[in-house]
A and B are shown apart, each in its own frame.
Chain A
Amino acid sequence: MAPRTFLVHGLLAGLIAGFAAFLVAYVVAEPHVNAAIALEEAGPAEDGHPHDAATAGQPHSHGEEAEVSRDTQSTWGLATGTVLLGAVLGGATALAAAFAVGRLGRLSARASTAIVVGVGFVATALVPFLKYPATPPAVGSGDTIRERTALYFGFWALSLVAAIGAVLLARRLLPRLGAYGAVLAGAAAYLVVVVIAGAALPTVNEAGDFPADTLWNFRRSSIVTMAAMWVVLGFALTGLVGRDADRAAERLRRRELAATL
């Protein structure tokens, strides 16, 4: 097994996952994106957006006057975004799996890969979403976009680093505590870091009087899309890595058999 094989398999699994996420997003999330844009265009100077009145921040439009049409945004644009993200998530997860395989106790290549994908979903999608949930169009002020972007990516990076640290900690504790104790200690260490950081970092609430049901529907569809991306990535990558590991084991077995003859 070689790093290049992991990367190629990761990119392939990621493309499949990104396309699956596009299909889910198109069916599940787009109706709520459109509902939010309809609300945005119905009331331009909402009193629910206290910062919006003076500056529009960035010239930003979704309607007929937009540079890119809504039809393009919801099809090719959406697909480009999800497939690109799927590809990099797949590649990065596969390289993380290349580190993990053979290093997580006695777990098989398949089990190690599945754990890396699971940790990746929790650390880079679920936990960041719980602190800074996705916002539909019309929610959020142009004045705070820099701050919100920095907070989102900052918390995302912290969660990722904490998760990697937790896995390394669990690995180190494994001989002393056994698998149950080591996983418990690692998970607890991760939770302590993200809960403290989550409590310390500022909360973003710019929803104003945006309808709660549209907000909830949009956010649910967002996490469903991300979960779909990671679940498909998990099954595709685990399958590809597992098949590769089986072949490598078979080659090794034949070589050993040949050596004994």
Chain B
Amino acid sequence: MSQATTAAPAAVPTIPVREIAPWALFFALLTAVVLFFVGAEQGAFSVFEGTAVHEFVHDARHVLGYPCH
């Protein structure tokens, strides 16, 4: 048994930041869109007219802590 194998447990490999960055950017945008529709659409701001989106996600918006009305 060599020193190297007993000294430390094998390090957990990392994923290079530049490999994750494009996925993170893409998903951050998608997250922002979903948060907007679940948390704010037709409340403080409106992309679509009317109140259908607001009313459909209404209970989720209240229960998940977003200001509703």
Contact in complex: A77, B51 (CB < 8 Å): no
A-B contact count (CB 8 A): 185
Report if A254 contacts B (CB, 8 A). no
Chain B hits for A77, CB < 8 A: 55-60
A53 contacts the other chain (Cβ, under 8 Å)?
no
A67 adjacent to B52 (CB under 8 Å): yes
Cβ B13 vs Cβ A102 within 8 A: yes
Asked whether, in the complex, the Cβ of A145 is within 8 Å of the Cβ of B11, the reply is: no
B1-53, CB < 8 A from A: 8-15, 17, 19-20, 23-24, 27-28, 30-31, 34-35, 37-40, 42-45, 50-52
Closest B residue by C-beta to A112 = B12
Using A33-B59, A67-B52, A92-B28 as known contacts, say yes or no to A85 and B13 having CB atoms under 8 A apart. Answer: no
Q: How far is the CB of A17 from chain B (nearest CB, A)?
A: 12
B43 vs chain A, min Cβ distance (A): 6
Would A222 and B64 count as touching, CB distance under 8 A? yes
How many Å from the CB of A168 to the closest CB on chain B? 12
| Closest A residue to B40 using CB positions | A149
Q: Chain A contacts of B14 at CB under 8 A?
A: 101-103
From A134, A142, A150, B63 is in contact (CB under 8 Å) with A134
In the complex, which residues of chain B have a beta carbon less than 8 angstroms from the beta carbon of A176? none
State which of A4, A108, A129 has its C-beta within 8 Å of the C-beta of B65: A129
Q: With CB as the reference atom, state the residue of chain B lying closest to A101.
A: B12
Decide: A137 near B27, CB < 8 A? Known: A30-B59, A95-B20, A145-B44. no
A137 and B34 contacting across the interface, CB-CB below 8 Å: no
| A216, B16: Cα distance in complex, Å | 46
Query: Which chain A residues lie closer than 8 Å to B20 at the CB level?
Result: 3, 95, 98-99
Q: Is the CB of A81 within 8 A of B61?
A: yes
Q: Are A7's CB and B38's CB within 8 A?
A: no
Name the distance in Å between B55's Cβ and chain A's nearest Cβ: 4
Contact with B along A105-144 (1 / 0, CB 8 A): 0111100100000000000010011001111110010100
Q: Is the CB of A140 within 8 A of B10?
A: no
A29 touches B56 (CB 8 A): no
* Contact of A153 with B40 at beta-carbon distance under 8 Å, contacts A29-B63, A95-B24, A102-B14 already known: yes
Can you report 5 A-B residue pairs in the complex whose CB atoms are below 8 A from each other?
A: A58-B69, A85-B60, A102-B15, A222-B62, A222-B64
